[in-house]
Amino acid sequence: MMQALALAERARGLTSPNPLVGALVVKDGGVVGEGYHARAGAPHAERVALTAAGPKARGATLYLTLEPCVHQGRTPPCVPALLDAGLRRVVVAVLDPNPRVNGAGAAALSQAGLEVSVGCLEAEARRLNRPFFTWVTERRPFVTLKVAMSLDGKISSWNRASRWITGVEARGEAHRLRSEADAIVVGIGTVLADDPELTVRLDPPWQREPYRVIVDSQARTPTSARVLSAGSPGRTLVAVTESADAQRVTALEQRGAQVLTLPARDGRVDLTALVAELARREVTALLLEGGGELNAGFLEAGLVDRVAVFVAPMLLGGQDAPTPVRGPGRGLKEAFRLTGMTARPVGEDLLIEGDIARGDEDVHGHC
């Protein structure tokens, strides 16, 4: 199953809105076929593995990181193909959370007389597909908040310069994070300060183009903003409220942007409505790139799942220099806590990552 999970991982960032899936056909202790789901619309992992195995699949065991489907999606259901192959046993890591499958795939296999077991490396399989599970079960994207800051916690200098706080390797890693996302989101403050492109810049060029999203209640985005001319025009979304000036909205649309008029909360874009709209557009993974005001808004709305902070070996100082999370702030008891923290060097910087603890989790040492 570990090998099947590693196969699935090869398509990271390419399968959305589908999950990553890997499959391995094993007979007499040897692998006779393997496969993974390469992109939405391409054959499912189990079909690739069974095709590779050919007649050797008869009497074999199939290791599969996600329950096989029983419904017609972009491709035909897989359960009949598993039955036709003459497998003896199927080992599934985790059930598909999609209500159209959820146990039905496994049940159909055992009703047909196959030996079926579910739950092998289940936690790892869930972790592999956190965006997919969040999107299917909560109808919202999995949100990663990404920050680049100095060791003293500043995301730009006192005079608002933020290019570049981190080194070239960390910036490369940040583009890799972008490549795994279906949408990259920033606040209007960041567009006005930094004029970012919000594109994925990797070598070789990345095959998918995440949405570039600006949260901009009053449609203040300048028509000269780089985010409007970078990449395909239709992939830039500007989220505004009803009170945005109609002429500015029209000017943004004429530049090719899609303007999403969303409900307001306290006069600003309602972020819960924004992520629901993005989920409807098949955004399963969202990368939130600041700035501090928007980060605070997402955190307060309970919409952040994971935090990735690049820490540069520099001290910027300045009491007015911006920090990663603005908003009103919280007391120690109410702070947003993180679990499963890790840190690793990326070039000369450190990447610190962790998950936002939900109320029902035990946060060690802070009860």
Ligand X SMILES: NC(=O)c1ccc[n+]([C@@H]2O[C@H](COP(=O)([O-])OP(=O)(O)OC[C@H]3O[C@@H](n4cnc5c(N)ncnc54)[C@H](OP(=O)(O)O)[C@@H]3O)[C@@H](O)[C@H]2O)c1
Which residues carry out catalysis?
46
User: Hey, what's the torsion of the CAs at 182, 187, 193, 196, to 10 degrees?
Assistant: 10
Q: How far is the CB of 289 from ligand X (least distance, A)?
A: 5
Q: Which one of the spans 25-33, 91-99, 126-134, 264-272 is the region binding ligand X (CB under 6 A)?
A: 264-272
Interface residue with ligand X among 215, 237, 278, 286 (CB under 6 A) is: 215
- The greatest distance separating any two alpha carbons of the chain, rounded to the nearest whole angstrom, comes to 70
DSSP 3-state helix, strand, coil percentages of the chain (rounded to 5)? Answer: 30, 25, 50
Q: Which two tokens stand for residue 266?
A: 């306290």
Among 80, 34, 37, which residue's Cα sits nearest to residue 60?
34
How far, in Å, CA of 19 to CA of 284, rounded? 10
Choose among 175, 187, 124, 131: nearest CA to 324: 187
Work out which of 34, 216, 305, 349 binds ligand X, going by CB under 6 A.
216
Residue carrying structure tokens 């980060």: 295
Residue ranges in 7-26 that form contacts with ligand X under rule CB under 6 A: none
Q: Is 134 in the site for ligand X (CB under 6 A)?
A: no
Q: Which residue has the tokens 């605070």?
A: 296
Q: Tell me the window of 26-34, 123-131, 141-149, 358-366 that interacts with ligand X (CB under 6 A).
A: 141-149
Nearer to ligand X, 106 or 155 (CB): 155
289 versus 305: smaller Cβ distance to ligand X: 289
Site for ligand X in 159-198 (CB under 6 A): 160, 162, 165, 186-190, 193-194
Q: For residue 101, what are the contacts with CB-CB under 8 A and spacing of at least 6?
A: 67, 69, 70, 71, 95
Would you say 190 or 284 has its CB closer to ligand X? 190
Selected range binding ligand X among 34-42, 68-76, 213-221, 355-363, rule: CB under 6 A: 213-221
User: Which 293-332 residues touch ligand X, going by CB under 6 A?
Assistant: 293-294, 297, 322, 326
The enclosing H or E element of 272 equals: helix 271-280
Q: Give the binding site for ligand X (CB under 6 A).
A: 147-149, 155-156, 160, 162, 165, 186-190, 193-194, 215-218, 220, 268-269, 271, 289-294, 297, 322, 326
